[in-house]
Structure 1
Amino acid sequence: MRGFDEVRFLADEARRVAEREAHRLGREHDGFLTFERTRRVSRRRFRTLAERVKRSGAPYGAHTIVHRADGDLLLVRHEGVDRWVLPGGGVRDWESFREAAARELSEEAGVDVDYEGLAIRTRVDIVCDDYRTWGTLPVFAAEAVTEEPAVCDPDGEISEARWFSTLPPDTRDRSHLRAWREERGYGNPD
């Protein structure tokens, strides 16, 4: 007889929540790009990510592609990963994905925007040894109303927010952003 495997049970619960949330996003939005990625992680990190997915469906929270009419994108410098990234982060228990994305954008870049809808939904497969689960990563699109960024990050992870016409080489999810820009007709100067 095999004993109870708490991590496997957690992974199954997380997967069910991810499926529900991914389907909900698909019902509520249309015209978004879809991607898949796999993250191989340590057992400790697997548990952390699975717990996040179990709570919200999203291992890395919700994010926003903020653009100007000319196609420039707003990125923030995340010191923890030493890269330029989209503003975004964790989903609190009472928040929708869009509400979390807006809160994180306010904290990390301080610009006012008009939200347009879901831009990208990525399925993130999370793997550790023979444990597997997955979560969804929603990225919303928004056009800037105010353009002067002001970082007010309570976590201290974001050191700078800046507009880019050409994506820096150390941009996380660069291929996703390039595909989104092409889809919108902005082209790819980088």
Structure 2
Amino acid sequence: MTMDDLWFLADEARQRAEQAYHRLRRDHTDFIEPVHSRRVSRPRFRTLATRVKATGTPYGVHTVVRRRDDEILLVRHEGVDMWVLPGGEVDDDERFTEAARRELAEEAGIDADYGGLAMATRVDIRCDGHQLWGVMPVYRARADFDVELSVNDPDDEISTARWFDVGDLPADTRDRDDLLAWHGHVTGD
């Protein structure tokens, strides 16, 4: 791919991100909108641009699952060596909510009652003179208190799933500040 082709790919990806973002705004209310910036290598930029062009999202969709009002479900992602929200890439012709439910079932072995969008995180991605952005939808859901967790991740990236008290999230929780901001938004803290 030449430099002009990479610019064209990034431009198409930005257009798809706009479409995905506007669809989320049309369909949901009362969510927070964090912004993150990533500087990546040229091969990684191409990979993320291809994902955004296909779905509007560079890192897929995720779910923040609450049990009671003070516990959040996290999964241990061995590839990034962090606790993360369950989630992942959107398959072809799959709606965001369908992907979120599928990923939750694979990574934690549960189904939950979905209640809308918690976050629409904007991810700005840069590489040399190229830039694009994508949206990362994070849905909100509730699970029963006694639900059993089990990991059945076909990619073998997730090693365990566990409930954490919101006030005691592990230091190595990805996007920890976003989770705390969302929890404060929801509870009015």
TM-score (norm 1): 0.94
2:69 corresponds in structure 1 to 70
2:139 is paired with a residue of what secondary structure? strand
Q: Aligned Cα RMSD in Å?
A: 1.3
1:140 is paired with a residue of what secondary structure? strand
2:184 corresponds in structure 1 to 182
1:61 corresponds in structure 2 to 60
Question: Pick from 172, 175, 181: which aligns with 2:174?
Answer: 172
- CA–CA separation in structure 2 for the residues paired with 1:4 and 1:75: 39
Greater share of helix: 2
Contact 1:60 1:90 in 2 (8 A): yes
Given residue 131 of structure 1, which amino acid in structure 2 is its aligned partner?
H
2:92 is paired with a residue of what secondary structure? coil
1:40 corresponds in structure 2 to 39
Contact 1:125 1:133 in 2 (8 A): yes
Contact 1:151 1:158 in 2 (8 A): yes
Given residue 133 of structure 1, which amino acid in structure 2 is its aligned partner?
L
- CA–CA separation in structure 2 for the residues paired with 1:16 and 1:114: 32
Contact 1:70 1:186 in 2 (8 A): no
Q: CA deviation at 1:84?
A: 0.1
Gaps in structure 1 of 5+ consecutive residues: none
Given residue 177 of structure 1, which amino acid in structure 2 is its aligned partner?
L
Contact 1:39 1:125 in 2 (8 A): yes
- CA–CA separation in structure 2 for the residues paired with 1:148 and 1:66: 14
Residue 155 of structure 2 corresponds to residue 158 of structure 1: no
Identity %: 59
Contact 1:71 1:186 in 2 (8 A): no
2:137 corresponds in structure 1 to 138
| 1:97–1:149 distance in 2 versus 1, CA, 3 Å | same
- CA–CA separation in structure 2 for the residues paired with 1:184 and 1:124: 22
1:114 corresponds in structure 2 to 113
Q: CA deviation at 1:185?
A: 1.5
* Count of aligned residue pairs for this structure pair: 185
| Runs of 4+ in structure 1 over 2 Å off | none
Q: CA deviation at 1:4?
A: 6.9
Q: CA deviation at 1:70?
A: 3.1
Q: CA deviation at 1:183?
A: 1.4
Comparing 47-56 and 104-113, the one that deviates more: 104-113
